[in-house]
Amino acid sequence: VALMDYGVKENMIRCLQNRGCEVTVFPAHTPAETILSGGFDGVMLSNGPGDPADNVAIIGEVKKLYESTLPLYAVCLGHQLMALATGAKTGRLAYGHRGGNHPVKDLAEDRVFITSQNHGYVVLSETVDPAVAEVSHINMNDGTCEGLRYKRPHCFTTQFHPEASPGPKDTEYLFDRFVASMGGDR
């Protein structure tokens, strides 16, 4: 797995390694061509701070990754960058989502999970092109977008942190989903 480091937490790497992945961490400004020519089975876009729209150069590189056939999973800032790279917009939350107690509904599973979050920006659901992606997770407190399932094969994103273990392992199934998209057995 090529992991783009926008502010990655060590436990995200551990969650992938625990599933048998060999993880190579790349700095945020690594060109997409480096990743695409590296022989990786998948790409993970990490969490990180700040206004996602400020990262114009990185958004351009994320768009190139999206246009490839590599499986992609993006978390938090990575989720927002992927949305921007595919034409959606982001906005600032009035108060932000902070803490380890945010209920999020996985619409496909019809199940609510308690999640850990730390962000002040959100993907604006109404700007997501339905030909590109659909909202996969929603915040049960305010109805905001917490995840996207892309129409392009093997590409999904979440706003919350599945590696943060508030449940303690409730949302780690997303790592299993990512590994399965790469042809793994977990």
- Amino acid (1-letter code) at residue 57: A
Q: Which helix (H) or strand (E) holds 181?
A: helix 173-181
Distance of CA 62 to the CA centre of its chain: 12
Q: Which two tokens stand for residue 67?
A: 């246009």
Q: Which of 79, 102, 137, 161 is catalytic?
A: 161
Active site residue 67: no
Active site residue 15: no
Q: Which of 119, 137, 145, 163 is catalytic?
A: 163
Pairing of strands 155-158, 72-75: parallel
Rounded-to-integer distance, Cα 84 and Cα 78, Å: 10
Rounded (5°) CA angle 83-134-128: 45
Active site residue 163: yes
Q: Which of 15, 76, 145, 155 is catalytic?
A: 76
Whether residue 162 contacts residue 15, with contact meaning beta carbons closer than 8 Å, is answered with yes
Q: Which two tokens stand for residue 8?
A: 């990655």
> Nearest CA to 47 among 15, 26, 76, 73?
76
CA-based radius of gyration for the chain: 15
Report, as residue numbers or ranges, the catalytic residues: 76, 161, 163
